[in-house]
Structure 1
């Protein structure tokens, strides 16, 4: 089985994330794509919205895609989230599979600082999505750099727009927009 692993803060999940997920399923011919909202981030202060709310937004965004599983593997962990540790848990749950860790070029810029990054490259192929303003020279046979379109928005932009009372209808899946409005999220 070919399994994609797409982790992130998803604070909130937006149409760019959805586009990337669907693109990765097709491009990599994945049998399953795991969407993994980060629990306790390893590389920055945790200023994220509650994990269970971010998890729910991801589930809402992908509820109709049968190849996507939104995982609580990091949200329900009491430990700091490291990709390597999560990858080992996935290998244990889905043995004898081919694994594709999906990251942005911004993450690749400091990938050599990740916990056990060389072991990650032995266990999985690391698929790198281009991000505007980033470039790296890291080379490895298990590193796949894609030529993908740049997306014009980020979760930070979405949160800022909500705070300013601007419409985010074109940035988020419709059902996620409704969820955010109903829960009055990102207002402060």
Structure 2
């Protein structure tokens, strides 16, 4: 099975994440999309994150009606901060029958050269890239690379940061979240302080 790994802190998961994941599931050769909830992205401050299990629960709530999309807590059991190359090695050991690819925005592809052992990732895994409005010009070493597949997906500029700031300022951000996620956030008073 070909599985696309969509990594994120999902703090919170929003409709933009779902639109991209669903587009990849329906309009690429990937069979499934795993939304990998990252406990600690090395490029983000951990103190800004909700508890891992709250973010995982929101991912479950958001994806329950999407049979080709499922949340994953695979990084919860790995050393932190989480490095993608280590997670991929662990997944290969645990699920060697699957072929794992990465899903990322053009903005992340432009910083791929800063990732730990990015050459190993590119050598062993395909990368499916969705467009971003504010992307810089693509690094020449990634143009026409045989492992990088640009997908003509909808361009979405919704961010979890924007949603958190909106909630903190008591704005109505309900349309940006799946209904069950909105209810979970509202019930728990998340992101209001």
Alignment TM-score, normalising by the size of structure 2: 0.91
| Structure 2 equivalent of residue 92 of structure 1 | 93
Which has the larger helix fraction? 2
After the TM superposition, which of the residue ranges 107-116 and 139-148 deviates more from structure 2?
A: 139-148
| Structure 1 equivalent of residue 138 of structure 2 | 136
Question: 1:29-48 counterparts in 2 under 5 A?
Answer: 29-46=29-46, 47-48=48-49
| Structure 1 equivalent of residue 84 of structure 2 | 83
| Structure 2 equivalent of residue 125 of structure 1 | 126
Q: Does 2:10 correspond to 1:25?
A: no
CA distance in 2, matches of 1:144, 1:158: 29
CA distance in 2, matches of 1:97, 1:123: 13
After the TM superposition, which of the residue ranges 42-51 and 10-19 deviates more from structure 2?
A: 42-51
| Structure 2 equivalent of residue 171 of structure 1 | 176
1:52–1:75 CA contact under 8 A, matched in 2:
no
Q: Shift in Å at residue 118 of structure 1? A: 1.1
After the TM superposition, which of the residue ranges 19-28 and 36-45 deviates more from structure 2?
A: 36-45
Q: Shift in Å at residue 33 of structure 1? A: 1.4
Q: Shift in Å at residue 143 of structure 1? A: 0.8
Q: Shift in Å at residue 124 of structure 1? A: 1.1
State the number of aligned residues: 188
After the TM superposition, which of the residue ranges 122-131 and 69-78 deviates more from structure 2?
A: 69-78
Q: Shift in Å at residue 148 of structure 1? A: 2.4
CA distance in 2, matches of 1:148, 1:29: 14
2:4–2:103 CA contact under 8 A, matched in 1:
yes
Call closer, same or farther: CA 1:70–1:143 in 2, change over 3 Å.
same
CA distance in 2, matches of 1:54, 1:31: 24
Unaligned runs of 5+ in 2: none
Alignment TM-score, normalising by the size of structure 1: 0.93
1:152 to 143, 153, 157: 157
Alignment RMSD, CA only?
Answer: 1.4
1:3–1:34 CA contact under 8 A, matched in 2:
yes
After the TM superposition, which of the residue ranges 103-112 and 60-69 deviates more from structure 2?
A: 60-69
1:11–1:54 CA contact under 8 A, matched in 2:
yes
Q: Note the alpha carbon deviations across 1:46-79, whole angstroms, 9 max, x for none.
A: 2211111111100110012222221111133342
| Structure 2 equivalent of residue 50 of structure 1 | 51
Q: Note the alpha carbon deviations across 1:142-175, whole angstroms, 9 max, x for none.
A: 0112232221321111111111111112101000
